[in-house]
Amino acid sequence: MAEKSLANQRVVVKVGSSLVTKGGQGVDMESIRAWAAQIAELTSQGCEVVLVSSGAIAEGMKRLKWAKRPKEIHELQAAAAVGQMGLVHAYEIGFAEHGLVCAQVLLTHADLADRERYLNARSTLYSLLGHKVVPIINENDTVVTDEIRFGDNDTLGALVTNLVEADTLVILTDQVGLYDSDPRKNPDAKFIHEETAGNPILEKMAGGAGSSVGTGGMITKILAAKRAARSGAATVIASGHEPNVLVRLMKGESVGTYLKAPLGRLAARKQWMADHLKLKGSLLLDAGAAEALRKKKGSLLPIGVTGCQGNFQRGDVVACLSPEGDEVARGLVNYSALEVRKIAKQPTSAIESILGYLDEPELIHRDNMVVLA
């Protein structure tokens, strides 16, 4: 099943608390070593991997010698701050054994809801991937509360999948995948091999967390798959204990539950832009730039832009108009209208001397653009 293989893909792998900490006993170095080995193999085969890891609270509780999970959010936040140290320490050791450098990235949903911070996070993650660094993401638990309450790292995994436009979200958990009811409660539960992400039937099958350490349960994974599908990504839910699970998925083996995305990436992105984003202005292109965008050649650079209309900010959606006034494309712009007026018609090399800084070399990156013509 070639389309299910992870080969050459950009993949977000999410690992849950009970896996990472052996059900709360503390960081499971053996599993971390195993995932690092598999991720090293994936990257050597051309995959780009982003890891979303839970486990900070569970590890923090162990370090603080707390037997019972506290109810107070600020205590959980304190535990997360302590435990995050243990997590990144373990990942650093595990990845270094395979010659890989990793990076800690702490994000909140609010970071990704703000268009400017969204673009900043995306640029950082792309830079890290470009340097063959494995980003290891967790919630910034010190400053958020709802995520701790709801165990929303599954959602964070999906948001990161949308952010980096990954092909696949792999959610590793303590079950071999999704059953038609919670297998801890129903020994006759039937295994679901494949379904379409977003099918409402899935939400009826999924229950809450099964262990005292995990928080979201299957329902947050099903909703994460639905969200990941919005950018055209498929989701696999599989066991993190399955030997060589990531490498086997890369080779196209059917492991766990496969939730396919109903729309391809480009169609999904077009729909998302059409549904969610309001035009805030327009860039006026010269004939050469309009032609290049129509032929889907690269990003839009300031040299091909003669001016702009509207009062947009970095991260807003703008239309790209040909000299005849036809909308050729639309996308997320990297500079404000004020800045565009200064750098229009200029080569990229001049941006820094004109503005005093360089946010991005292009006005709209190809990945943030939908060509309409």
Ligand X SMILES: Nc1ncnc2c1ncn2[C@@H]1O[C@H](COP(=O)(O)OP(=O)(O)O)[C@@H](O)[C@H]1O
Binding mask 1-40 for ligand VHF (x = CB under 6 A): ---------------xx-----------------------
**Partner that binds at residue 135, options ligand X, ligand VHF, none, CB closer than 5 to 8 Å by kind:** none
Q: Is 48 left (phi over 0), alpha (psi -120 to 50) or beta?
A: beta
CA distances from 341 to 218, 305, 353, 364 (A): 49, 9, 15, 15
Query: Which CB atom, from 98 or from 184, has the smaller least distance to ligand X?
Result: 184
- The answer on whether 99 is annotated among ligand-binding residues is no
9 in Cβ contact with 167 (< 8 Å): yes
Using CB under 6 A as the binding rule, whether residue 138 contacts ligand VHF is answered as: yes
Pull the structure tokens for residue 202: 């899935």
For 70-81, what is the HEC assignment?
CCCHHHHHHHHH
- The answer on whether 142 is annotated among ligand-binding residues is no
Query: Which CB atom, from 59 or from 316, has the smaller least distance to ligand X?
Result: 59
Are β-strands 257-260 and 234-239 bridged in parallel, bridged antiparallel, or unpaired? Answer: antiparallel
- The answer on whether 174 is annotated among ligand-binding residues is yes
Minimal distance in Å, beta carbon 188 to ligand X? 12
Identified binder of ligand VHF from the candidate list 183, 214, 232, 331, rule CB under 6 A: 214
**Partner that binds at residue 181, options ligand VHF, ligand X, none, CB closer than 5 to 8 Å by kind:** ligand X
CA distances from 15 to 12, 143, 169 (A): 10, 21, 11
- The answer on whether 186 is annotated among ligand-binding residues is no
Query: Which CB atom, from 167 or from 195, has the smaller least distance to ligand X?
Result: 195
- The answer on whether 14 is annotated among ligand-binding residues is yes
DSSP character at residue 334: S
- The answer on whether 216 is annotated among ligand-binding residues is yes
Minimal distance in Å, beta carbon 215 to ligand X? 5
**Partner that binds at residue 152, options ligand VHF, ligand X, none, CB closer than 5 to 8 Å by kind:** ligand VHF
**Partner that binds at residue 57, options ligand X, ligand VHF, none, CB closer than 5 to 8 Å by kind:** ligand VHF
Residue 317 dihedral angles phi and psi, to the nearest 5° = -95, 130
Binding mask 42-71 for ligand VHF (x = CB under 6 A): ------------xxxxx-------------
36 in Cβ contact with 90 (< 8 Å): no
Minimal distance in Å, beta carbon 112 to ligand VHF? 15
- The answer on whether 173 is annotated among ligand-binding residues is yes
Identified binder of ligand VHF from the candidate list 48, 141, 195, 339, rule CB under 6 A: 141
335 in Cβ contact with 359 (< 8 Å): yes
Measure the CA angle with vertex 94, ends 22 and 160; round to 5°. 80
- The answer on whether 270 is annotated among ligand-binding residues is no
**SS3 category, 101:** coil
- The answer on whether 218 is annotated among ligand-binding residues is yes
Residue 82 dihedral angles phi and psi, to the nearest 5° = -70, -45
CA-to-CA distance for 75 and 61, rounded, in angstroms?
10
Minimal distance in Å, beta carbon 141 to ligand VHF? 5
Strand order in the sheet with 10-15: 102-107, 134-139, 48-53, 10-15, 168-173, 234-239, 257-260, 194-196
Query: Which CB atom, from 209 or from 340, has the smaller least distance to ligand VHF?
Result: 209
- The answer on whether 83 is annotated among ligand-binding residues is no
Minimal distance in Å, beta carbon 185 to ligand X? 8
Q: Which residues bind ligand X (CB under 6 A)?
A: 16-19, 54, 151, 173-175, 178-179, 181-184, 205-207, 209-211, 214-218
76 in Cβ contact with 57 (< 8 Å): yes
Question: Which of 319, 263, 266 has the alpha carbon at shortest distance from 293?
Answer: 319
Using CB under 6 A as the binding rule, whether residue 86 contacts ligand VHF is answered as: no
Which among 108-116, 150-158, 223-231, 354-362 is the span making contact with ligand VHF, rule CB under 6 A?
150-158
**Binding residues for ligand VHF (CB under 6 A):** 16-17, 54-58, 80, 138-139, 141, 151-153, 214-216
Annotated binding-site ranges for substrate: 54, 141, 153
